[in-house]
């Protein structure tokens, strides 16, 4: 079929009409090949303008449309909708921005007109080689695989499960609950952790739509948003029974680990009795048994903040607050105890935290700012040596030392990041899609992160992220509703590909795989986001991006710059 391109130039009231010689533009583009009509209109985005365009397309039997007007940010969508209404594929359209890029940037009418001619010609040159792109729809599975049975995984599961949406909750250990099962109370409101966690466990186990797999690990994840296949392997039996399920989304809620204080000999951990970690102290406290190695009740305790912070290179956000919570535990259980907190900077970043700190201060409770610290064990007493703010060397003797270590990524992070084709950040946690706007989504669509697996955070913020993940899944993976993948996607030509795998290394979305039989790379168009990295990197011209093909770009550039 012959091309019939319609070119419509918007006057945008006086905005374009007064700054650009529109008739000159019309004269310049009219003789171009395939241009069937070139004309002007006072305001194409007005209701009359939109009706006019739609009628013009139909009346003139146009096959392609070029509009020279404002920024695509303003009205690209408007004009593509008009194409659709008039019965031509919306991708057979191109917008030339002659307002923001010509009329509004110079007082020189001749220069503005010349540039407008180039941009309009470039749009015509390009649109001539546009091909229709069709929106695709694929079936999706609403079920969700949640990895990690701690508070984040359980909270997400409880918000997601319904008769239309089954949840597979996989926990590595023999029981649900995660790290919170070791705690007695939350900060700052000192609510009972066993109650909070038991309520959740009861709700999860009583929910018919949540299937719990304890003592299980995920061993494979294949597929893409709406259509993942997960494999789970039992880790406590010899024959390693495996189960597979199809799900639409995967939630990584694998929590975190604690920095190991033996990595820093200054703390004496593992060398001296009665130097314990925060988690060991929590367990001791939960058991109602705060005792020294010799069975006696401690008379003095030092709590050391920021253990491992220097090595990890980040503040773990919750250690100051849980250290202050320890003060409460101790004051409550051993009223006469003397407590010294050694800290660098107090990090109390929520509305109720400072009050909690102020209310925890007391006569038998010091907060001492230090810049370096060393724990030794001369005689039978632990001695803490440090520099105070004035730079003087001081030392304190105590019965017990509690170390508050940094939170660090759990051991499975790397493996799961590989399974789900997402990246880890510099600190080793799962990397979120966007620091500000995408805290629980990842570079792989359909893979979500919640809780300390994404970075150190409190129980409250963990719950929020788990609910946020639920929000993301519930709003995008709707039972019975099909998924519309991106249409402007990459394609790798089998005959041109030399199998060098360069594209594999530059794709952030795990779209490309290597077909080892044919020795070529293959792009999964369903999950491609159309970033074009593979196209730029491909040395043999095998990778191309729909709607941004070499020929389309060459024709556009030729008219724009030559």
Partner 1 sequence: MNNKNSNSDILVIGAGIAGIEASLMLSKSDRKVHLIEKNSYTGGMSIKFEEVFSNMECSTCMISPKQQDLLQDKNINLIMLATVEDVKGSPGDFKVKIHKKPRYVDMDNCIGCTACFDPCPVSIKNEFEEGLSTRKAIYIPCAGALPNVPCIDTNNCLRFQGKDCQACQDACMFNAIDFNQKDEKIELNVEAIIVATGYKLFDPNNTPHYGYKKINDVYTALEFERLYASNGPTQGKIQLKNGKTPKSGAIIHCIGRDKQGYCSSVCCMYSLKFNHYLKSKIPEIQIFELYTDLCIPGKSHQKFYEKIKQTGTTLIRATDIKITQQGQKIAITHTDEKGKKRNIIVDMVILSPAIVPNTDASQLANILGITCDDLGFYKEENQNISSVVTPKPGVFIVGCSQGPKNIQETVSQANAAVGKILSASQEGING
**Sites for partner 1 among residues 402-461 (CB under 8 A):** 425-427, 429, 435-440, 455-456, 459-461
135 binds partner 1 (CB under 8 A): no
Closer to partner 1 by Cβ: residue 43 or 286: 43
Which stretch, 9-17, 20-28, 170-178, 520-528, contacts partner 1 (CB under 8 A)? 9-17
Name residues whose C-beta falls within 8 Å of residue 123's C-beta, 6 or more positions apart in sequence: 66, 68, 94, 95, 96, 556
Which one of 178, 472, 523, 559 is in contact with partner 1 (CB under 8 A)? 472
Nearest to 547 by CA among 39, 186, 80: 80
Nearest to 146 by CA among 163, 162, 169, 177: 169
What is the separation, in whole angstroms, between the first and last Cα of the chain?
Answer: 29
Residue 159 beta carbon to partner 1: minimum distance, rounded to whole angstroms = 4
DSSP annotation of 102 reads I
Nearest to 271 by CA among 372, 196, 378: 378
Residue 9 beta carbon to partner 1: minimum distance, rounded to whole angstroms = 15
Which one of 39, 191, 242, 505 is in contact with partner 1 (CB under 8 A)? 191
CB 72 within 8 A of CB 41: no
The size of the interface with partner 1 (CB under 8 A), counted in residues, is 72
Q: Are strands 167-170 and 210-213 parallel, antiparallel or unpaired?
A: parallel
184 binds partner 1 (CB under 8 A): no
Sign of CA dihedral 301, 302, 306, 311: negative
Residue 193 beta carbon to partner 1: minimum distance, rounded to whole angstroms = 9
Residue 7 beta carbon to partner 1: minimum distance, rounded to whole angstroms = 21
Give the Cα separation of 112 and 22 in Å (integer): 10
Closer to partner 1 by Cβ: residue 88 or 158: 158
Give the Cα separation of 524 and 515 in Å (integer): 12
Which stretch, 245-253, 383-391, 515-523, 544-552, contacts partner 1 (CB under 8 A)? 383-391
482 binds partner 1 (CB under 8 A): no
286 binds partner 1 (CB under 8 A): no
Residue 352 beta carbon to partner 1: minimum distance, rounded to whole angstroms = 7
Give the Cα separation of 134 and 509 in Å (integer): 22
174 binds partner 1 (CB under 8 A): no
Q: Per-residue x/- marks for partner 1, 258-277, CB under 8 A? A: --------------------
Closer to partner 1 by Cβ: residue 456 or 530: 456
Residues forming beta bridges with residue 421, ordered by sequence position:
none
Closer to partner 1 by Cβ: residue 179 or 469: 469
Which stretch, 58-66, 263-271, 307-315, 483-491, contacts partner 1 (CB under 8 A)? 307-315
Give the Cα separation of 262 and 308 in Å (integer): 10
Which one of 233, 387, 476, 549 is in contact with partner 1 (CB under 8 A)? 476
Which one of 32, 279, 347, 368 is in contact with partner 1 (CB under 8 A)? 347
Q: How many CA atoms lie within 13 A of 313 on its CB side?
A: 5
Give the Cα separation of 333 and 503 in Å (integer): 61
391 binds partner 1 (CB under 8 A): yes
315 binds partner 1 (CB under 8 A): yes
CB 448 within 8 A of CB 251: yes
- Dihedral, CA atoms, 16, 19, 24, 28, nearest 10 degrees? -70
Which stretch, 45-53, 219-227, 241-249, 262-270, contacts partner 1 (CB under 8 A)? 45-53
Closer to partner 1 by Cβ: residue 37 or 347: 347
Residue 261 beta carbon to partner 1: minimum distance, rounded to whole angstroms = 19
Which one of 217, 317, 412, 559 is in contact with partner 1 (CB under 8 A)? 317
Give the Cα separation of 303 and 401 in Å (integer): 6
465 binds partner 1 (CB under 8 A): yes
Query: 15-53 as b/e, with b when 16 or more CB fall inside 10 Å?
Result: bbbebbbbeebbebbeebeebbebebbebbbeeebbebb
Residue 450 beta carbon to partner 1: minimum distance, rounded to whole angstroms = 9
Residues in 114-133 at the binding interface with partner 1, rule: CB under 8 A: none
CB 58 within 8 A of CB 69: no
Q: Measuring CA to CA, how many Å separate 140 from each of 137, 144, 166, 224, 250?
A: 9, 11, 13, 10, 13
308 binds partner 1 (CB under 8 A): no
Residues in 214-233 at the binding interface with partner 1, rule: CB under 8 A: none
Which stretch, 22-30, 160-168, 243-251, 395-403, contacts partner 1 (CB under 8 A)? 160-168
Residues in 516-555 at the binding interface with partner 1, rule: CB under 8 A: none
Instruction: Give the count of beta carbons closer than 10 Å to the beta carbon of residue 204.
Output: 22
Which stretch, 20-28, 125-133, 159-167, 541-549, contacts partner 1 (CB under 8 A)? 159-167
Which one of 110, 220, 345, 494 is in contact with partner 1 (CB under 8 A)? 345
DSSP annotation of 432 reads P
Residue 343 beta carbon to partner 1: minimum distance, rounded to whole angstroms = 9
Closer to partner 1 by Cβ: residue 289 or 352: 352
Strand stretches in 181-240, DSSP E? 210-213, 216-224, 227-234
Which one of 2, 107, 134, 189 is in contact with partner 1 (CB under 8 A)? 189
480 binds partner 1 (CB under 8 A): yes
165 binds partner 1 (CB under 8 A): yes
Give the Cα separation of 144 and 230 in Å (integer): 10
Instruction: Give the count of beta carbons closer than 10 Å to the beta carbon of residue 425.
Output: 13
Which one of 346, 500, 506, 531 is in contact with partner 1 (CB under 8 A)? 346
467 binds partner 1 (CB under 8 A): yes
Closer to partner 1 by Cβ: residue 174 or 390: 390
Nearest to 344 by CA among 378, 398, 308: 308
Q: How far is CA 284 from the centre of its chain?
A: 37
């Amino acid at each position: 079929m012959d091309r019939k391109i319609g070119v419509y130039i918007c006057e945008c009231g006086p905005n374009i009409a007064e700054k650009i010689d529109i008739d000159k533009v019309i004269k310049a583009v009219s003789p171009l090949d395939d241009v069937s009509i070139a004309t002007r209109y006072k305001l194409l985005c007005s209701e009359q303008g939109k009706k006019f365009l739609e009628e013009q397309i139909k009346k003139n039997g146009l096959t392609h449309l070029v509009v020279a007007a404002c920024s695509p940010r303003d009205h690209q969508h408007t004009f593509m909708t008009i194409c659709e209404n008039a019965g031509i594929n919306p991708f057979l359209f191109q917008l030339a921005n002659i307002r923001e890029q010509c009329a509004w940037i110079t007082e020189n009418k001749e220069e503005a007109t010349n540039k407008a001619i180039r941009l309009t010609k470039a749009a015509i040159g390009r649109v001539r080689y546009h091909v229709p792109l069709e929106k695709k729809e694929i079936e999706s599975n609403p079920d969700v695989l949640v990895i990690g049975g701690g508070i984040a995984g359980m909270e997400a599961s409880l918000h997601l499960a319904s008769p239309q949406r089954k949840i597979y909750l996989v926990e590595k250990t023999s029981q649900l609950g995660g790290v919170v099962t070791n705690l007695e109370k939350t900060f700052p409101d000192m609510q009972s952790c066993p109650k909070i966690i038991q309520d959740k466990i009861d709700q999860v186990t009583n929910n018919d739509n949540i299937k719990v797999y304890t003592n299980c690990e995920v061993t494979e994840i294949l597929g893409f948003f709406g259509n993942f296949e997960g494999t789970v392997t039992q880790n406590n039996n010899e024959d390693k029974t495996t189960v597979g399920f199809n799900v639409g989304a995967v939630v990584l809620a694998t929590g975190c680990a604690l920095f190991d204080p033996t990595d820093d000999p200054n703390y004496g951990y593992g060398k001296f009795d009665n130097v314990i970690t925060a988690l060991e102290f929590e367990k001791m406290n939960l058991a109602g048994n705060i005792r020294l190695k010799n069975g006696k009740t401690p008379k003095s305790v030092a709590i050391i903040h920021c253990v491992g912070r220097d090595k990890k290179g980040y503040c773990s956000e919750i250690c100051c607050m849980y250290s202050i919570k320890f003060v409460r535990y101790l004051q409550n259980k051993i009223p006469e105890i003397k407590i010294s907190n050694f800290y660098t900077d107090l990090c109390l970043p929520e509305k109720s935290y400072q009050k909690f700190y102020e209310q925890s201060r007391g006569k038998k409770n010091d907060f001492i700012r230090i810049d370096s610290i060393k724990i030794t064990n001369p005689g039978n007493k632990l001695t803490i040596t440090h520099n105070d703010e004035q730079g003087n060397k001081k030392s304190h003797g105590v019965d017990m030392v509690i170390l508050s270590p940094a939170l660090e990524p759990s051991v499975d992070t790397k493996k799961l990041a590989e399974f789900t084709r997402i990246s880890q950040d510099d600190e080793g946690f799962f990397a979120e899609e966007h620091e500000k706007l995408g805290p629980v989504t990842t570079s792989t669509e359909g893979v979500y992160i919640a809780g300390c697996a994404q970075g150190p955070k409190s129980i409250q913020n963990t719950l929020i992220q788990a609910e946020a993940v639920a929000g993301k899944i519930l709003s995008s993976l709707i039972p019975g509703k099909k998924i519309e993948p991106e249409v402007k996607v990459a394609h790798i030509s089998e005959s041109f590909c030399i199998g060098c795998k360069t594209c594999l290394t530059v794709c952030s979305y795990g779209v490309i795989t290597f077909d080892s039989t044919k020795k070529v790379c293959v792009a999964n168009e369903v999950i491609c986001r159309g970033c074009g990295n593979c196209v730029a990197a491909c040395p043999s011209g095998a990778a191309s991006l729909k709607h941004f093909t070499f020929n389309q770009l060459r024709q556009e550039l030729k008219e724009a710059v030559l």
